[in-house]
Amino acid sequence: MTLNALKTIHSLNIVHTDVKLDNILFANERFALDSALEKYLEENPSQVNPDTQIPESQPIPNEWTYETSAFQAERMTVALIDFGHAEWTEGTPLGDGFCPLFLRPPEVLLSSGFGTAIDIWMIGCLTFELLVGRSLFHPEDGGDDWSIDEDHLAKMMELTDQRFSTTILDRAKNRAKYFDAEGEVSSVNAKDKQIHWCKLPGNLINIKDLIPVKIEKAMRNYNIPGLSQEDITESADFIRSCLHLDHEKRPTADELVKHSFLMKAFHC
């Protein structure tokens, strides 16, 4: 549903740049009429925080729960909102601070390109978050040792088991900010626990040792009830396809809606 919205705006050469859970709304059939919503709000006025005098969040009752079946979910009407940060795919973007921090794709950090693939990266991150209830990326500021953006780039490589190719780095305006010219980088093999060295086009300047963690393992670590191994395998493949470090190699929204993970989910 959100992907269908992205299909439409991408066909119009628009990049949303802010696809996050706050901007994905579900229609509420209980309050289909304005009068019904007005009556509910009159009977249930907003509560004000006594300390800050700011109205508190007041979720409106709805019929959707964690037990909602895939069949029922197909009846949902989903709206992608807030186009305040949207940009045209053609021309120069008006800014460079796109996307919430934890959802920010590598091309934004590296300034290596701009296009609809930005939204696809965020879909991959949100899919993980919706399945396990936690953000996929948790970049940390290392103070004088490394920046939060450099840690973010390191975690991208660890969780996708990819490296930034020469093609990506050659078009990255911020390459020198995060990567050295050329060198060796070590990684710890998850199976044999041995350190392996390999030549890369460029290594992160301040973070040399990377420990790959498959998305499947990251999902299993949360021990989510009802999330089967088949679910993990299918969803991880979907997420991984969204998280290609080279934005030019990510699938389109139209291609993603045909992914087996979604096809199976809506044929339950």
Contact 89, 116 (CB under 8 A): yes
Tens of pLDDT, residue by residue over 197-229, are 455 556 888 888 888 999 999 999 999 888 899
This prediction has a pTM of 0.83
Q: Please list the ranges in the chain whose pLDDT falls under 70.
A: 66, 92, 94-96, 182-202, 265-268
Q: What is the pLDDT of residue 183?
A: 45
Task: Give the chain's count of helices (H) and strands (E).
Answer: 12, 7
Of 1.10.3720.10, 1.10.3860.10, 1.10.510.10, 3.40.309.10, the CATH number of 1-265 is 1.10.510.10
Q: What is the pLDDT of residue 185?
A: 45
Q: What is the pLDDT of residue 96?
A: 66
Q: What is the pLDDT of residue 264?
A: 77
Q: What is the pLDDT of residue 190?
A: 52
Domain edges within the chain: 1-265
151-184 exposure pattern, b = at least 16 Cβ within 10 A, e = fewer: bbbbbbbbbbebbbeeebbeebebbeebbbeeee
Q: What is the pLDDT of residue 201?
A: 59
